[in-house]
Amino acid sequence: FLIKFFTLHQRATGIRENNAGRIRVETAQGIPTEADILIGADGLHSVVRPHLNGVHAPFFTGQVAWRAIVPAGGNLAPEATVYMGPGRHLVTYPLREGREINVVAVEERREWAAEGWNHTDDPDKMRAAFASFCPEVRSLLDRADEARLWGLFRHQVAPVWQRGRVAILGDAAHPTLPFLAQGAVMALEDAWVLADSLDRAGTVGDGLAKYQSRREARAKRVVDAATGNARNYHLRFVPLRLAAHTALRLASVLAPGFALRRFDWLYGYDVTRDGD
């Protein structure tokens, strides 16, 4: 059979539901489409979320992030590494079979005005922000020829994920800070549970309601844990920071894997067994 893709890559601008239970989606290109069910997987600036929850602007989290890709070199670890300091942290991990290193450098700021994800910034500003970090980090940042900068925004977890024949998932429902690297994973988990709930339910409405009830608590826990990581990475109070970092060093020697075991609930979760 043939599937129509004439609305592919068109930006949705509005949603209407009619008395027959059909959903009409208006697009920026002026080509409306109708469907029996609408799933809004349209991210932080979702058009579907306000249809269910009203209009609320995303709030600035007080964090900005630079991203740069640099040539590999030196003695960087072959896995993801976090470097922490007061009010800022930096994450590195290898790309392209270790030939390059991805750098994400996060700094606390009080204000951020610009929208969007892809602002070019002077790498010297990133280097200045992390000038007090260890020589390994400074050497890494010296290899950055360009950097992108964006402000980290999010909503609260949406109180309403579904109504009638409309639902949201992923960042449209529960945007999170990136400090657990779980944004895309959570969207995939949502999608599996949504499909499973619809498959098991007698009606679309019952399936969508079950989907939210199965996913909401875990989504909130992940969002809260990512926010907690932001605080832990950026400890400013010197005695507390020294105590926390000393505990991490001791744990890495005396009980390797201890830090990761704290997140067994996250990384050991099997979404395909949810609801069994």
Instruction: Kindly state the average pLDDT of the residues 248-265.
Output: 68
52 membership: H or E segment, kind and range: helix 48-53
Q: What is the pLDDT of residues 183-228, one digit of tens each?
A: 999 999 999 999 999 999 999 999 999 999 999 999 999 999 998 8
pLDDT of residue 173: 97
Tokens, residue 148: 């992108």
Residue 234's pLDDT band (boundaries 50, 70, 90)? low
CA distance 154 to 152: 7
Query: What is the set of domains in the chain, with CATH numbers?
Result: 59-154 (3.30.9.30)
Write down the catalytic residue from 93, 233, 267, 269. Answer: 93
Comparing 9-18, 29-38, 212-221, 258-267, the range with the smallest average pLDDT is 258-267
DSSP assignment letter at 118: -
Q: Is 269 a catalytic residue?
A: no
Q: What is the pLDDT of residues 111-141, one digit of tens each?
A: 886 766 778 999 999 999 999 999 999 999 9
Long-range contacts of 225-232 (CB under 8 A, 24+ apart): 225/180, 225/263, 225/266, 226/176, 226/177, 226/178, 226/179, 226/180, 226/182, 227/176, 227/177, 227/179, 229/177, 229/179, 229/180, 230/61, 230/63, 230/106, 230/177, 230/179, 232/84
Residue 246's pLDDT band (boundaries 50, 70, 90)? low
Give percent of the chain above pLDDT 70: 83
Give percent of the chain above pLDDT 90: 52
pLDDT of residue 219: 97
